[in-house]
Amino acid sequence: MDQVEANSIEPGGLWLPLATPFRDGSLDEVSLRRLVQHYAGEPIDGLILAATTGEGLTLDEEETSRLVHLTAGELATAGRRLPLFFGLSGSDTRKVVKALERSAAWPIDGYLIACPYYTRPSQEGMIRHFSALAASTARPIMIYNIPYRTGVNLGNAAMLQLAGHPNIVGVKDCSADMAQSFDLLRHKPAHFAVLTGEDALLHPMLTQGAEGGIVASAHIETRAFARVGALLREGDGAGALTAWRAICDFPRLLFAEPSPAPIKHWLWRAGLIDSPEVRLPMTPVSDGLAARIERELDRLRS
């Protein structure tokens, strides 16, 4: 797959953080190919690999390389030209720089990089961290701000300072603070994209000016999630609200237990992957949630 020109990437629309299928403890390449073929035919605007939904922290370097190359190859076979971003995280700036160097030849178009976890650096520390990373690659970077996972929140003053770097093109916003998110949307430069990573907030964030969303729930009813943004872009606010109300319960269902186990269970029962397997410390869904997912699948099929 020819890479999308780095300076042409303006993140927006519906991006899918792809689940990573496993079977018997290994990367399930057959299911991965099937997944990519399926979503290559859906109205998504970008793919994220090996991030939270993709269980990236459980993948070793060899598996991650295979994941990336197989995905890029299947997209090429499908003739679908999509931005492909690779998820990275870490609390040692030097190690993340080395990860950027190791992946320099991979067929990816950019990176989604989480704020440093556990160490809880200062705002200045995070500015220096992301500045060093952006200076270490020619590819675009989206910041992943998710304080309820990392333990640290990148505030808007620091975010806006980082938005001035030419390689930092946007943020996956999971601040869980609507006031912070709306304030960022008011003050961000035009070239800096805010994509919500809170599935349940997709519609309100889009109405406030977000460029799009990185939405794990869009593994199911992908076209319905894409339609919400399409209707808003067409100026049909009432239609977008109606479309959103038809799907707004899916995030609640798919995040009723730790993600991505519910999404994988759904994909398995829908025949898109051959096993709902997750890697410890993640565990499969409970019998109760499995039954709820089954009922919802039956409803959609009827």
168 is in an annotated binding site: no
Q: Which one, of 172, 181, 189, lies nearest residue 14 by Cα?
A: 172
For 213, the enclosing helix (H) or strand (E) is strand 212-214
273 is in an annotated binding site: no
Q: Are 49 and 21 in contact (CB under 8 A)?
A: no
Question: Using CA atoms, how far apart are residues 87 and 51, in angstroms rounded to an integer?
Answer: 4
The neighbouring-strand residues paired with 78 are none
Which entry of 39, 111, 172, 264 is annotated as an active-site residue?
A: 172
98 an active-site residue?
A: no
Q: Are 188 and 158 in contact (CB under 8 A)?
A: no
For 63, the enclosing helix (H) or strand (E) is helix 61-78
Which entry of 39, 144, 188, 264 is annotated as an active-site residue?
A: 144
Centroid of chain to Cα 7: 20
Both ends of the chain: CA-CA distance in Å? Answer: 38
39 an active-site residue?
A: no
Q: Using the 8-state DSSP alphabet, how is residue 258 labeled?
A: S
> What is the C-alpha R_g of the chain?
18
What amino acid positions are annotated as catalytic residues? 144, 172
Please give the annotated binding residues for pyruvate, written as ranges. 53, 214
Please give the annotated binding residues, written as ranges. 53, 214
